[in-house]
Amino acid sequence: MGQDLDHDSVTPLYVQLAAVLRGQIERGELSGRLPSVKSLQQQYGVAQGTAERAFALLRSEGLVTCPRTRAPGRLVMSQRDALRQALICVSGAIAAACTG
């Protein structure tokens, strides 16, 4: 329990957990559906809110997505999907700047 996380560190646990998950995604160890919040709680000895904040951080970085489907869970975004999302954001910003 708590592997790879330093519970005594000044770095918040959610930041540490996001870094562990980010590394696993970048190395290709995690793809498709991510572990559940509950499994992260058990594996790393963190609170539910800590796991959720780690997922929120990864989502803000464009590494994971939470699809709006009946199947719960979070998914690792493919590079193609991440690029598509970035292009949509950029084109929206350009359009807003041109009309504003």
- Taking the whole predicted model, whether its pTM rises above 0.75 is answered as no
From the list 30, 54, 32, 50, the residue with the least C-alpha distance to 41 is 50
CATH number for the domain spanning 40: value is 1.10.10.10
Residue 17 pLDDT: 95
- Is 2 part of any domain? no
Residue 55 covered by a domain: yes
Rounded mean pLDDT, 33-53: 91
Res 64: pLDDT: 81
Assigned domain for 20 exists: yes
Q: What domain count does the chain have?
A: 1
Q: Which residue range forms the structural domain that includes residue 23? A: 13-99
DSSP 6-58: -TTSSS-HHHHHHHHHHHHHHTTSS-SBPPPHHHHHHHHT--HHHHHHHHHHH
Give tens-digit pLDDT for 8-41. 999 999 999 999 998 888 888 887 778 888 999 9
- Answer yes or no: is 1 within a domain: no
Q: What is the pLDDT of residue 71?
A: 46
Instruction: Specify which residues 56 forms β-bridges with.
Output: none
Asked if residue 64 belongs to a domain, the reply is yes
